[in-house]
Structure 1
Amino acid sequence: MTAVELAQLSNTLFSITVALYSLGVVAFCAQLAFGRRPARTRELVGAGAPVEPAAPATEPAAEPVRGRRWGLIAMGLTVAGLVTHVGILVTRGLAVDRLPWGNMYEFATAVVLVAVAAFTVLAVRAPALRHIGAFVMGPAVLALVLIGLKLYTDAKPLVAALRSYWLAIHVTTAILGFGIFFVSGIASVLYLLRTRYEAKVAAGAPAGGSGMQIVERLPAAAALDRVAHRTAVFGFPIWTFAVIAGAIWAESAWGRFWGWDPKETWAFIAWVVYAGYLHARTTAGWRGRPAAWVNVVGLAVMIFNLLYVNLVSTGLHSYAGVGK
C-alpha cells in the first residue's frame, strides 16, 4: 500500500474504532440497567433474631445471566475496538515512516488507547469492574470524537524539533502515564459518588433512592479506591521518568534542563499533585474522600496541560499542537 492509502486506512480505522467503542458503551449501559442487582438486606426471622448476627448487614446478590451476557458483549466490542485503535496508529506510522505521536492528534489518540487498554486489563482480571465500563468508555468515545473534529491533521513528517530518539522515550512514557492516570481519575470520581451513596444508606436512606439506581450498581467504594490507588501507583513512576526524560531532551535541544516553559511547569505541577495523592493515601485524616479529591485534581491538571497549554498558551512546546 502507498503512503496515501495507509493514511486513508488510518482515518477509516478511526471511524470504525469510534463506532465499536460507542456500541460497547451501549452494551455497558445495558449491563448496568439489567445486570448487577443491589445488595440484599438480611431479613429478621422467627422471634426477631437475625439469622447471622455477626454477618454484615448486606450481602451481594448474584448477577443475572442477562447482565453477564451484556458484559461479555461490551468487552468483546471493547477488545475489537482496541484492535482497530492500534491499527489507527500503526497504519499512520507506516504512512509517514515514523512513530505515530508527533502531533496533538496522534498524541491524544494514543493516550485514549492506553486508557482503554488499561481498563480492559483491569476488567479481564476483575470482571466486577466491567460495571464501570460505561464511565470509562463514555469519556473515551467523547475524547475520540473531539480529537477527530478538533485536532485532526494530515499525516506528515515530523517538525525538525521532534526528530530525535528522545521522541520514543519521553513522549511514549508521557502517553503511558497520562492514559493510566485517566483510568485512576475516573475511578476516584466513581469512588466519591459511591461513598456518598453508601453513607446515605448507612444513615437510613432507602437503597436505590431517587437518582441513585446507577450508583448502587457500581462496585463497592473500597474496590474503586483500590483501582484508583493501584493505577496511580503504577502510573506515577512512568510519569516521573517522562518528566526527567523531557528535561534531558530539553538540555540536548535547547541547552538547558529546565526553563519553566508552560508545558514543563504544568507537567511538574501534575507530578506534585500525584505525589500528594499517593502520600495522602497513607496519611491519617487524608485517606478516603480527601485523597480521592486530590486524584481528581490530578486528572484535571493533566487534561488542562494537554489542551490549554498545548492549544492556547505559547511556549517552546507549542509546535505539539499543530500539524506540520
Structure 2
Amino acid sequence: MSLLDFSRDAFIVTFFVYCAAFILYAVAVMGTKFSNRDPGVHGRKWGRISFTVSSLGLAAHLTFFITRWIGGGHIPVSNMYEFMSFLSMMIMVAFTVVYLIFRKTILGLFATPISIIIMAYAAVFPQQVQPLIPSLQSYWLNIHVTLAATGESFFAVGFAAAFMHLLRTVNFNSNVKSDRRQQRWVEFTLICVVVVIGFIAAVFGFRAAGYESVFTQEKTTIDKQGQAITDTSKVSYSLPPIVAPYNSEVESFKPFLGLKEPLFHAPSWMSGINAGRKLNTVIWSVIVGIILYGLIRLVMRKSIGKTISPLLQGLDPDDLDEISYRAIAIGFPIFTLGALIFAMIWAQIAWGRFWGWDPKEVWALISWLYYSAYLHLRLSRGWQGRNSSWLAVIGFLVIMFTLVGVNLVIAGLHSYAGTM
C-alpha cells in the first residue's frame, strides 16, 4: 500500500471517529437530562471518554495530513480538498486547545460537527494529488495558508460558542416581537447549516447513483487581428441540470423525475462554462436542504432551535460568551499574520506587488476588518453577551464566504483552488 492510499484510509477513519466522538459528546450532554445518575459524575465520565475519542480522531487526521504530505511531495493545502481537510483538522486542534482551558464538554457537541461537515464538504472535490503550479512552488505556501487556516479554525470555535450562547439565551417560548425576531434569526442560521448538509447529501447521492449529463458550449472571441475564434468546451453535470450553461447544447442528458431537459439557461453575465453548473449546484443544495429541514421539523414538531435550547439550560451564558471571545482573540493575531502580512509578502515575491485587489485579497481584508471591529466592540460597553455572539456568528459566515464563495464563484488569481 502506498502512502497516498494509506492517507485516504486515514481520512475515512478520521471521519468516522469524529462521528463517534460527536455521538459520545451528545451522550455526555444529553445523558445528564435523561438519566437518574448524578449529572456531574455522568457528565465528567462521558466527557472524558468523548474527548479521548475526538483526540484519537485528531491523531488519525494528523496521520492523514503527514502521509499525504510525504506521499504527495508538498504540503497538502493547495486545492479545495486539501485545504478544507486541513481546516477541519485545525478546527479540532483549536477545539482541543480551548477545551483544555475551559473544560466545557458541551463545546464538543458543536465544534465536532463543524469539523465533520467541513470534512464531508472537502470530500466533494477531486482528491488526486496535483502538481503545484509555479506560483505555489514556494515555502510561503506553508506559512501563509497554514497560519490563515489556524486563525480561521479559532474563529470557528468562537462561532460554536457564540451560537451556543444564542441558543442558551434566546427565549423560544416567548411571543414578544424582539424575542420572535431572535428566534427567526437563530433558526435561519440552522437552516443555512442544513442547506450545506443538503449540498453534501445531493452531491454524494447522485454521484453514488452514477448520474451524469454533458453539455457543449461554443464561445466566440475576436483576436487582435480582428479574426473570430470559436472555442468549444464541454461540462459534465453530476446533478440533474435544472440550469444549463449559457448558450450551450445538450450532448447527453439523463432524465430524472420527469426532468427531461434543463428548465432554463444560465444568464449571459455569468461568464464561464462552469457558471451554470455552479448555479445548478446551489439550486439543488437549497432544494435538498429545504427537504431535509422539512423532515427534521416533521419529526421534531417544533423548530430546531427550540429543540436544542433545553439542552443548554444548565450552562452559564457568561462562560459561553467568554469562550467565544477568547477563541476569537487567540485566532485574530494568527489570522493577521497568515492571511494578510505573510500573504502580502508572498504576493510581492510571486506577482511583484503587495496588493492587487484580487477578490480573495479583498475578502481577506474584509474578514480582518470585521474581526478587528468585533474585538473593538467586544471591549466596549453594551457589546457583550447576545450582541457579541451575533457578531461572532456573522463573522464566521463572512469567513466561509471568503473560503467557499470566492474560490468557487468569483474568478481571480486564487481560482486554482479547485473545482467540483
Structure-2-length-normalised TM-score: 0.64
Contact 2:58–2:93 at 8 Å: present in 1 too? yes
Aligned positions of 1:69-148 closer than 5 A? 69-127=45-103, 129-148=104-123
Deviations 1:233-266 (A, max 9, x none): 1111111112111111112111211111110011
Please, which of 310, 314, 318 is the counterpart of residue 213 of structure 1?
310
Q: Offset of 1:36 from its aligned partner?
A: 6.6
Following superposition, the deviation at residue 275 of structure 1 comes to: 0.5
Shift of 1:104: 1.4
Task: Tell me what 1:46 maps to.
Answer: none
Distance 1:250 1:244 in 2: 10
In structure 1, C-alpha distance between the alignment counterparts of 2:133 and 2:419, rounded to whole Å:
10
Amino acid at match of 2:77: W
Matched, 1:19 2:19: no
3-state SS of 2:394 partner: helix
Match of 1:223 in 2: 319
Asked if 2 retains the 8 angstrom alpha-carbon contact of 1:10 and 1:88, the reply is yes
2:340 matched to 1:248?
A: no
Q: Measure, in 1, the Cα distance between the counterparts of 2:93 and 2:331.
A: 14
In the aligned structure 2, how far is the partner of 1:310 from the partner of 1:221? Answer: 36
Displacement of 1:9 in angstroms is 0.7
Q: Is the 8 A contact 2:102 2:323 kept in 1?
A: no
Q: 1:291 to 1:238 in 2, by over 3 A?
A: same
CA distance in 2, matches of 1:29, 1:18: 17
CA distance in 1, matches of 2:319, 2:109: 17
Contact 1:105 1:151 in 2 (8 A): yes
Is the CA contact 1:273–1:297 (under 8 Å) kept in the aligned structure 2? no
Q: Show structure 1 runs of 5+ residues with no match.
A: 38-60, 201-209
- Contact (CA 8 Å) 1:14, 1:84: kept in 2 or not? yes
Report Cα offsets for 1:100-129 as digits up to 9, x if no partner. 2121111111111111111122223333x1
User: C-alpha separation between the residues in 2 aligned to 1:152 and 1:74?
Assistant: 32
Aligned residues: 285
Deviation, 1:155, is: 1.6
Q: Which moved more, 1:12-21 or 1:99-108?
A: 99-108
For 1:47, the equivalent position in structure 2 comes to: none
Farther-moved stretch of structure 1 (279-288 vs 298-307): 279-288
> Would the aligned equivalents of 1:277 and 1:292 in 2 still touch at CA under 8 Å?
no
Query: Match for 1:228: what amino acid?
Result: S
Distance 1:193 1:138 in 2: 16
CA contact 2:378–2:384 (8 Å) conserved in 1:
yes
Output the amino acid matched with 2:332. F
Aligned to 1:178: 152
- Following superposition, the deviation at residue 183 of structure 1 comes to 0.5
Contact 2:98/2:327 (CA < 8 Å) preserved in 1? no
> Structure 2: 5+ residue runs without aligned partners?
175-305
Q: Does the Cα contact within 8 Å between 1:17 and 1:82 map onto a contact in 2? A: yes
Q: Matched residues in 1 for 2:98 and 2:356: separation?
A: 38
Deviation, structure 1 residue 283: 1.3
SS across alignment from 1:20: helix
Residue 290 of structure 1, CA deviation:
1.7
Q: Residues of 1 paired with 2:323 and 2:173: CA distance?
A: 20
How far residue 135 of structure 1 moved from its aligned partner, in angstroms, is: 1.1
Structure number with higher strand proportion: 2
Quote the residue 2:398 is aligned against. Answer: 301
Choose from 388, 393, 396 the match for 1:291.
388
Cα distance in structure 2, aligned partners of 1:278 and 1:312: 30
Large movers: runs of 4+ above 6 Å: none
1:166 aligns with 2:144: no
Q: CA deviation at 1:62?
A: 6.1
Tell me if the contact between 2:364 and 2:402 (Cα under 8 Å) persists in the aligned partners.
Answer: yes
SS in 2 for 1:25: helix
Counterpart in the other structure of 1:260: 357
Change in Cα spacing, 1:32 to 1:80, as seen in structure 2 (3 Å) is same
By how many angstroms is 1:318 displaced?
0.5
**C-alpha deviation, 1:296, in angstroms:** 1.3
Stretch of structure 1 that moved more, 154-163 or 80-89: 154-163
**1:238 to 2:340 alignment:** no
Contact residue 84 and residue 121 of structure 2 kept, 8 A: no
Corresponding residue of 1:50: none
Q: Among 354, 368, 382, which residue is 1:271 paired with?
A: 368
Secondary structure of the residue aligned to 2:357 is coil
Q: Deviations over 1:122-178 (max 9, x none)?
A: 223333x11121111112112211211x12421232121100121122111111111
Partner of residue 155, structure 1: 129
